[in-house]
Amino acid sequence: MTSAIGRVPIGRNPPIGRVVVLLGAPGAGKGTQAQILSERLGLAHVATGDLFRAAVRDETPLGLAAKGYMDRGELVPDGVTIEMLLERLAKPDAQAGILLDGFPRNTAQAEVLDKALAEKGGQVDLAPYIEVPEADLVARLGGRWICRAQGHPYHELNKQPAQSGVCDVDGSDLYQRTDDQPATVQARLRQQLGALDLVVDYYRKRAVLTVVDGRKDIGQVTVDLLAAIVPAIGSRG
């Protein structure tokens, strides 16, 4: 038996644990918070942007297919994106539970996720939406630096590394993403914010949405997210 889009086997997968979907516009703080929360909660951090950037770096067929879209600030087509996500969810570390960062980004992806989780006896337990005004997003993306090895995010004003240009976590060098240049930032926000609104509505209708004020400092956003997530995922066995 295979999934609806073929190739990825289902049915033989063990049941999946808790699933939290972190929602937010580009620059809202998903990656920053996911790094902290995944450790605290024992969930695998699954970030589709990081998976795509690794594929581009390694020049895999997936990376070659995705690169043009990413450079233009557009969403990569659903076919390859969903295939990549389902392959990641089939890995052993995802079975204990996952914290999704950057997926789903449209309602078609949200529907596929629900179906894939249902086949594993799971569901989206909570979808926290980190809400940040558009003007703040531009400033955050323009000042963002990420690490070469694992994509840990920093900011030239808001979150500086202990040693300039070096990742606190893994010691790799920091760089600025090409899609964080001002012209591409505008394109990303223009193209992605509408789809995000629909995804937020999708989870609101399913009663798993919770909105967190992402304008607060990083530590306070973590506190607010934990206050929402811990009761929600603690209630499942």
Q: Which residues are catalytic?
A: 30, 105, 144, 177, 188
Name which of residues 74 to 93 contact ligand ADP (CB under 6 A): 74-76, 81
**Among 13, 32, 152, 212, interactor with ligand ADP by CB under 6 A:** 32
Residue 198 sits in the site that holds ligand ADP (CB under 6 A): no
- What one-letter code names the amino acid at 14? P
| Span of 45-53, 92-100, 118-126, 166-174 interacting with ligand ADP by CB under 6 A | 45-53
Cβ proximity to ligand ADP: between 177 and 204 the closer is 177
DSSP string spanning 7-61? SSB-SSSPPP-EEEEEB--TTSSHHHHHHHHHHHHT-EEEEHHHHHHHHHHTT-H
Tokens 């600025």 correspond to 176
CB 213 within 8 A of CB 131: yes
Strands 144-147 and 174-175: antiparallel
To ligand ADP, the closest distance from the beta carbon of 207 in angstroms equals 23
Give Cα separations from 72 to 16, 45, 53, 67 (angstroms).
35, 25, 14, 9
CB 150 within 8 A of CB 101: no
- String marking each residue 132-171 x if it binds ligand ADP according to CB under 6 A: --------x--xx--------xxx--xx------------
Cβ proximity to ligand ADP: between 227 and 234 the closer is 227
Residue 120 sits in the site that holds ligand ADP (CB under 6 A): no
Report the alpha-carbon distance of residue 67 to residue 159 in Å, rounded.
Answer: 28
Cβ proximity to ligand ADP: between 11 and 202 the closer is 202
Question: CA-based angle 222:207:227, to the nearest 5?
Answer: 20
Binding residues (CB under 6 A) for ligand ADP: these are 24, 26-32, 48-49, 52, 69-70, 73-76, 81, 102-103, 105, 109, 140, 143-144, 153-155, 158-159, 179, 188, 214, 217-218, 221
